[in-house]
């Protein structure tokens, strides 16, 4: 006989129960907090079952169970992750709606079918971290594209000739000029010495465009700006 310990995970508290392969309930669903006291309560409640053939399982639905998983693995317990679609099919097969108290029993029932779960070990978190970093990179790329597109739109209004003056868009100098002056009108009214300082980049090297060329282009620009657009350009560059 194998004891099936199902845990329904949520943000502030989890619900667990213990059944066997035949569905006999040994521990009715009980709640425990998502903190060290709650984890210890869970261990003390199920400890008599973990000395025999057992498996602890929860749905792979998000990050709320991460700390619990790490805790259980640190105690060298056997932990499995279930596809939530599988447990949902079981729930629907029995005509049950989602219910926190009963879901731990449903999860336990799914543990009776090895094909529905995968055992996790410490390296589970290495893969998890890689996945999270990949997602974060995609998020940064998407956010960067959004900001670049917004910045391009603002430049097209405030200084449409600006991009043609620089060989490399979004270079340090390109962004510094935008941040410091924001518009053709501001550049046109700025003295040459200040513009020269803005065009000096790392280690004193200068870009191909001169302060005089930048100021001349700004004076002839068809662009226009207002206070709101200037604030948005400055803050977008800072992002």
Angle, CA of 70, 72 and 73, to the nearest 5°: 65
- Please state, in angstroms and rounded to a whole number, the distance separating the CA atoms of residues 4 and 53: 9
| Residue 131 counted as domain residue | no
State residue 12's pLDDT score. 93
**Which of 78, 104, 122 delimits the end of a domain?**
122
What does the mean pLDDT of the chain come to? 86
Separation between Cα atoms, residue 42 and residue 216, nearest integer Å: 73
**Angle ∠(170,158,229) on CA atoms, nearest 5:** 90
Residue 178 lies in a domain: yes
Q: Please identify which residue in the block is written with the tokens 């006989």.
A: 1
Q: Which residues in 94-129 are b (16+ Cβ under 10 Å) and which e?
A: eeeeeeeebbbbbbbbbbbeeebbeebeeebeeeee
Domain shared by 54 and 118, yes or no: yes
Q: How many domains does the chain have?
A: 2
Domain membership flag for residue 23:
yes
3-state secondary structure of 62: coil
Q: How confident is the model at residue 63 (pLDDT cuts 50, 70, 90)?
A: confident
Shared domain check, 94 and 35 = yes
Pair 52, 116 in one domain: yes
- Min mean pLDDT across 63-67, 203-207, 218-222 is at 203-207
How confident is the model over 123-145, as pLDDT tens digits? 666 677 787 888 888 888 888 88
State the pLDDT at residue 96: 59
Question: Using one digit for the tens of pLDDT, what is the confidence trace for 155-165?
Answer: 888 889 988 88
pLDDT-wise least confident of 60-74, 82-96, 148-162, 218-232: 82-96
Q: Does residue 187 sit within a domain?
A: yes
Residue that finishes a domain, picked among 87, 122, 157: 122
Asked if residue 167 and residue 74 are part of one domain, the reply reads no
159 lies in some domain: yes
Segment 183-207 shows an average pLDDT of 78
CATH number, position 16: 3.30.420.10
- Domain membership of residue 61 as a residue range: 3-122
Q: Please report the pLDDT score of residue 30 as a whole number.
A: 95
The answer on 94 and 39 residing in a single domain is yes
* Residue 156 and residue 68 share a domain: no
Q: Looking at the structure, tell me whether residues 33 and 105 fall in a common domain.
A: yes
Q: Which of 7-11, 114-118, 168-172 has the lowest mean pLDDT?
A: 168-172
> Does residue 135 fall inside a structural domain?
no
Q: Do residue 33 and residue 102 come from a single domain? A: yes
Q: Is residue 216 part of a domain?
A: yes
CA–CA distance, 130 with 187 (Å, rounded to integer): 45
Among 122, 140, 172, the domain-final residue is 122
Within a domain: residue 9? Answer: yes
Q: Are residues 102 and 168 in the same domain?
A: no
Please check whether residues 91 and 156 belong to one and the same domain.
no
Confidence of residue 233 (pLDDT cuts 50, 70, 90): confident
Q: For residue 27, what pLDDT is reported?
A: 94
Asked whether residue 116 falls in the same domain as residue 162, the answer is: no
Residues 83-99 have pLDDT tens digits of: 888 787 777 766 655 56
Confidence check: pLDDT of 102 > 80? no
Same domain for 29 and 118, yes or no, is: yes
CA-based nearest residue to 77, from 113, 51, 112, 115: 51
Structure confidence at residue 162 (pLDDT): 86
């Amino acid at each position: 006989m194998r004891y099936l310990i199902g845990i329904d995970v949520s943000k502030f508290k989890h619900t667990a129960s213990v059944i066997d392969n035949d569905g006999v309930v040994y521990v009715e669903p009980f709640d425990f907090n998502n903190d060290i006291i709650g984890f210890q309560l869970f261990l003390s409640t199920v400890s008599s079952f973990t000395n025999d053939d057992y498996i602890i399982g929860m749905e792979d639905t998000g990050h709320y169970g991460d700390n619990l998983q790490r805790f259980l693995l640190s105690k060298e317990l056997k932990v499995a992750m279930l596809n939530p679609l599988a447990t949902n099919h079981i729930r629907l097969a029995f005509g049950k709606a989602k219910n926190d108290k009963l879901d731990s029993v449903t999860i336990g029932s799914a543990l009776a079918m090895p094909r529905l779960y995968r055992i996790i070990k410490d390296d589970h978190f290495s893969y998890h971290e890689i996945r999270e970093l990949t997602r974060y990179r995609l998020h940064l790329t998407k956010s960067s594209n959004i900001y670049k597109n917004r910045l391009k739109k603002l430049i097209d209004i405030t200084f449409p000739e600006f991009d043609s003056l620089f060989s490399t868009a979004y270079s340090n100098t390109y962004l510094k000029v935008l941040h410091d002056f924001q518009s053709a009108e501001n550049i046109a009214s700025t003295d040459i010495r200040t513009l020269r300082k803005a065009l000096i980049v790392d280690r004193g090297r200068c870009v191909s465009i001169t302060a005089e060329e930048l100021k001349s282009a700004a004076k002839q620009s068809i662009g226009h700006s207002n206070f709101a657009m200037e604030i948005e350009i400055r803050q977008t560059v800072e992002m």
